[in-house]
Amino acid sequence: MPDQTADHKTKSPRPDATWAAAEAVLAAVAGGSQSSFELAAEMVMSVLEEPLVRMAVALDALLKAKSPFALVRAVELAEHLLTGVEARGQVSSGP
């Protein structure tokens, strides 16, 4: 089982629903369960519902369409990523 616990502020734990879905998929596949495909689909939906993933998917669509709003959304996503990283102590604030 992969280590998903937060240690030394280098990892953030996955949302409970996503974690549970991943565990269910691993158990179902290991056990040869007929429900493996359904559980995998539920896991994918859980991941796709995460706010950061939704932001990235929306930005991807804007970039592919060469929308003038793509760069605005890119800045928002970059700020969100950096703010989250800074909050976990992973970004140096300089000398």
Q: What is the mean pLDDT of residues 46-67?
A: 95
Percent of the chain, pLDDT > 70?
Answer: 73
Domain ranges of the chain: 15-49, 51-88
Where does the pLDDT of residue 26 fall: very low under 50, low under 70, confident under 90, or very high at 90 and above?
A: very high
Does pLDDT of 27 surpass 70? yes
CA-based angle 80:44:25, to the nearest 5? 125
- Tokens linked to 90: 């992973």
